[in-house]
Amino acid sequence: MYSHSHIRTLKAKHDKLLAEIAMHDRLYYRENNPKISDFEYDCLKAEAERLGETLASHSIPTEKTIIGDDRIAGFEAAAHLSPMMSLANTYSRDELFQFDMRIKSIFGGQKFSYVIEPKIDGIAINLIYKNGNFHRALTRGNGTIGDDVSSSVRTIRDLPLRIENLSESIEIRGEIYIDEQTFAAINKCREEQGLDVFSNPRNLAAGTVKTLDVSEVAERNLQLITYAIGHGASDSENLQSDTLEYLKRLGFRSQEKYWTATNISEAWKCVEELNAMRHSFPYWTDGAVIKINELQLHRELGATAKSPRWAIAYKFEPERAITKITNIILQVGRTGVITPVAELESVQLSGTNVSRATLHNADEIAKKDIRPGDYVTLEKAGEIIPAIISVDASKRAHDSKPFVFPDTCPSCGSKLVRLEGEAAWRCQNSYCLPQIQRRIEHFVSRVAMDIDGLGSSAIEKLIAGGKLSCICDIYRLKFYDLENLEKLGAKSALKILNNIDGSKSRPLWRLLHGLGIPGIGEQTAKMLAAEFLSVANLAAAKLEDLEKLNGIGEKLAAAVISFFGEPNNMKIIENLLTLGVVCEDGNSENIRTNSIFQGKIFVLTGTLSSMPRQKAIEAIETLGGQVANSVSAKTQILIAGENGGSKIAKAKSLGIAIWGENELLRNLSSQRSTPAGH
C-alpha cells in the first residue's frame, strides 16, 4: 500500500499524462500532424493505463481516457450502424501469449484458431451499402458518429458502387491508404514547390480523405483494403478467413496476405514471417492483428468499452539505425527550391540500403542543429523515406560548427529568397542550369511527354553544350547534336529523334502535365484536357470557366491563370506550336462515345507480350474505359495475358467477357483508326 502523499503524486502524474494524451489525440486525429511517433504515443497510453490500475486498486477514481475523435468542421456527420472500435495493442510477445491464456481460461478446453493479418497503417473507413448500392463512407469519428467522406472515397478506383444485395444494409470496414510511390511522388512535387512535405503516408491519407476539393483527392490515388463486415454480417460465414475471401467475392480488395494458425506459438511464427516480408507490401504495416478465427466466439467474447476481446494488435517497434553524415549538399529543384540533403555513410534500414536523407529545409537543420560529420539516428518516415530523428552531439568533433545555410544559389550564385509563408529558400533565376535540367527531365518523363532515350545524363550534356535551354529546344535538336554525345552513337540518336517526333502528337494531358504548372498533376491535366481540347483553349480560359469545373478548386484555377498570364510561358507555348507540337485531343467527346471501350470497366491479368501493362491501361483509358485492380460483379471485360491468375476463373464464374491479347490489340487498333488517336 502506498502513502497518501505518494498516491497524490501518482494521481497528479496520471492527470498530467491524460492531458498530454488528449493533446496528442487532437494532433493525430484532428490535425493529422502528430508530434510524436506511434511508439512514443503507445508508451504514454500504456503508462497511463498502469497508473490508472494502481490508483483504482487504492479506490481512487480516475478519468477514463477518451477515444480519439477525428471529426472536423466542413463535413456532415452520420451515425455508424454498429460502433467502430479500436484494438488493444502491445509491443510485447509475452502480452500476446497472455492474451491467448485469457481466451483459453474463458473457453476451457474448447478448440479455436487464429487469423494473422497485416495491420495496415492507414485510416479506418466504414462503407455503408443500402440495398446493394453504395450509400456513404464514414470515418471512425468518435466510434459512434463519423464524418461523411463519400465524395473522397468515390475517387477510389476499385470501390464497388454496387454489391450483391444480401441484407438491406451492410457495413464494410477497411483501411484507406496512399501507396509508397504516390506518397514519394507527392512529396517530391511539394518539395519542388517549396511546400512542407508530409511526414508519413498515414497523415497524408487522413488529410486527403478530409479534403473538400475532389480533384485534389483524385490526384492522390487513394487505395482501399477491406477486412471486416460491421452491421449486416451474414451468418453463413463461420470464420474471419471466410470473411476475407467473401469480401473479395463481393468485389473489394481485401488482405492479399494473411495467415491462419491453430495455436499461439504457430501464430507467433506467422507474426515473425509477416515482420520479415512486410516491406514488400504496397502499404505501410505497423504490426500484425491477431484475431480469433471463429466468428461465433467473437459474439461470445464481445467487447470492452473500447475494443473487442477477440483480437489484439502486436505492433512492431520502429527500426532505427545510427550512421554518420559525410556531407550536406544543396539541390536545386525544378521551381528553384533549394533542398538540403544529408549524404550518409550507407546503412541498412527497414530492408533497404540508405545513403541519403532529405533535410527538408533550413529551419529543419537549424532546429535539430544537424552538422556535417554528426552521428545521427535514422528512422524511416512511414518506413519509406529515411528521416533524421536525432543527433548525438556527444560524438561531435571539437571543431564542429553549425551548418550555415547559404544566401546565394549553390549553382548560379543568385541571391536566394524566401517567399512569404514558405519554409523553403528559392533561386529565382529561371535560367539557373539545374532548374532547366529538372524542367526538361520532367517534360520528357514517362508521366508527361514520354520521350524515351533522352535521359538525365544526355540532357545534362546537351545543356552544357548550349543545345538545350528550354523545353522548346528539344524539338530543335539535330541528328549530329545527339550523335556527337559521348556513348550515344548513330542508332540511338536516330531513335531519340524519332521519339521526339512521335511526342508531337501525344494526348493533350501529357503536354499540360509536362509544362509543370504548379499543382497540376496527371489527373487534373487529364481533366483539363478533356474539357479544353487544346492548349490554346486552356490558355484563353477565364478564372470563372476554370472554377466552375467540377473538382477544380480556387487554388488550382488561380495557378492555371497565373501560369498562362506569364509572357515567358506563352512564348514557350507559341514556340512549341510553331515547332509542330500539336497535342490536341480533337473532339474527344465524339470519339469517346463511339468507342467500344467507353464507360466499360476492364481488369487485366497475366503478361502482355506486345506492350507493358501501363501502356495497355493508358490505351484503354484514352478510349474512355476504366481499369480496376480486381474482378468483381462490376467488371465488364477481363483481359487475359499469358499466365493469367485466378482472375480468369473468377471472371468465368461471374459470366464476364474475356479478351485475349489479340482481341485487345484488334479492338484498340480499330478504335484508333478513327481520327481519335492524334
Supply the residues annotated as catalytic.
119
Please return the burial class of 355, using the count of CB atoms within 10 Å of its CB with bins 0-12, 13-18 and 19+. Answer: middle
Question: 274 with 259: CB under 8 angstroms?
Answer: yes
**Amino acid letter, residue 428:** Q
**Between 7 and 301, CB nearer to ligand IVH:** 301
**Between 429 and 630, CB nearer to ligand IVH:** 630
Closest separation in Å from C-beta 271 to ligand IVH: 13
Among 103, 124, 189, 616, interactor with ligand IVH by CB under 6 A: 124
Question: Which of the ranges 116-124, 208-216, 229-237, 627-635 carries the binding residues for ligand IVH, by CB under 6 A?
Answer: 116-124
Q: In Å, what is the CA distance from 143 to each residue of 46, 82, 151, 176, 206? A: 21, 9, 21, 17, 16
Question: Which of the ranges 112-120, 513-521, 598-606, 607-615 carries the binding residues for ligand IVH, by CB under 6 A?
Answer: 112-120
Among 176, 292, 313, 603, interactor with ligand IVH by CB under 6 A: 313
Question: Which of the ranges 65-73, 113-121, 469-477, 587-595 carries the binding residues for ligand IVH, by CB under 6 A?
Answer: 113-121
Question: Which of the ranges 30-38, 114-122, 576-584, 591-599 carries the binding residues for ligand IVH, by CB under 6 A?
Answer: 114-122
Could you report how far apart the first and last alpha carbons of the chain are, in Å? 84
Q: Which helix (H) or strand (E) holds 116?
A: strand 114-120
Tell me if residue 259 falls in helix, strand or coil: strand
Among 28, 99, 227, 252, interactor with ligand IVH by CB under 6 A: 227
Question: Which of the ranges 118-126, 190-198, 484-492, 608-616 carries the binding residues for ligand IVH, by CB under 6 A?
Answer: 118-126
Please return the burial class of 670, using the count of CB atoms within 10 Å of its CB with bins 0-12, 13-18 and 19+. Answer: exposed
Rounded Cα distance, 504 and 584, in Å: 10
Interaction of residue 308 with ligand IVH, rule CB under 6 A: yes
**Between 72 and 533, CB nearer to ligand IVH:** 72
**Between 85 and 264, CB nearer to ligand IVH:** 85
Q: Which helix (H) or strand (E) holds 647?
A: helix 647-653
Closest separation in Å from C-beta 555 to ligand IVH: 30
**Between 291 and 438, CB nearer to ligand IVH:** 291
- CA 185 vs. chain centroid, Å, equals 9
What part of residues 143-182 is at the interface with ligand IVH (CB under 6 A)?
175
- 136: phi then psi, degrees, rounded to nearest 5: -160, 160
Among 10, 48, 55, 120, interactor with ligand IVH by CB under 6 A: 120
Q: Contacts with ligand IVH: how many residues (CB under 6 A)?
A: 14
**Between 147 and 473, CB nearer to ligand IVH:** 147
Rounded Cα distance, 555 and 546, in Å: 11
Interaction of residue 309 with ligand IVH, rule CB under 6 A: no
Residues with Cβ < 8 Å from 246, sequence gap 6 or more? 229, 234, 237
What part of residues 322-341 is at the interface with ligand IVH (CB under 6 A)?
none
Residues with Cβ < 8 Å from 511, sequence gap 6 or more? 448, 449, 535, 576, 581, 583
Q: In Å, what is the CA distance from 303 to each residue of 294, 308, 309, 472, 539? A: 15, 4, 5, 65, 59
Closest CA to 454 of 465, 433, 440, 473: 440
In the complex, which residue's CB is closest to ligand IVH?
124
**Between 307 and 630, CB nearer to ligand IVH:** 307
**Between 309 and 371, CB nearer to ligand IVH:** 309
- 536: phi then psi, degrees, rounded to nearest 5: -60, -45
Interaction of residue 289 with ligand IVH, rule CB under 6 A: yes
Tell me if residue 176 falls in helix, strand or coil: strand
Closest separation in Å from C-beta 144 to ligand IVH: 13
Question: 24 with 44: CB under 8 angstroms?
Answer: yes
Rounded Cα distance, 257 and 263, in Å: 19
Interface pattern 183-222 for ligand IVH (x via CB under 6 A)? ----------------------------------------
Torsion of CA 542, 543, 549, 552, to 10 degrees: 140
**Between 123 and 470, CB nearer to ligand IVH:** 123
Rounded Cα distance, 647 and 609, in Å: 19
Closest separation in Å from C-beta 368 to ligand IVH: 30
Closest separation in Å from C-beta 259 to ligand IVH: 12
**Between 126 and 671, CB nearer to ligand IVH:** 126
What part of residues 63-102 is at the interface with ligand IVH (CB under 6 A)?
85-87
Closest separation in Å from C-beta 265 to ligand IVH: 21
Closest separation in Å from C-beta 80 to ligand IVH: 12
Rounded Cα distance, 151 and 538, in Å: 26
Closest separation in Å from C-beta 124 to ligand IVH: 3
Q: Which helix (H) or strand (E) holds 34?
A: none
Closest CA to 276 of 349, 348, 225, 351: 351
Interface pattern 548-587 for ligand IVH (x via CB under 6 A)? ----------------------------------------
Grid coordinates standing for 609? 507480350
Closest separation in Å from C-beta 310 to ligand IVH: 9
Rounded Cα distance, 271 and 583, in Å: 52
Closest separation in Å from C-beta 254 to ligand IVH: 10
Q: In Å, what is the CA distance from 283 to each residue of 40, 122, 629? A: 22, 8, 15
Q: Which residues contribute to the site for ligand IVH (CB under 6 A)?
A: 85-87, 117, 119-120, 124, 175, 227-228, 289, 307-308, 313
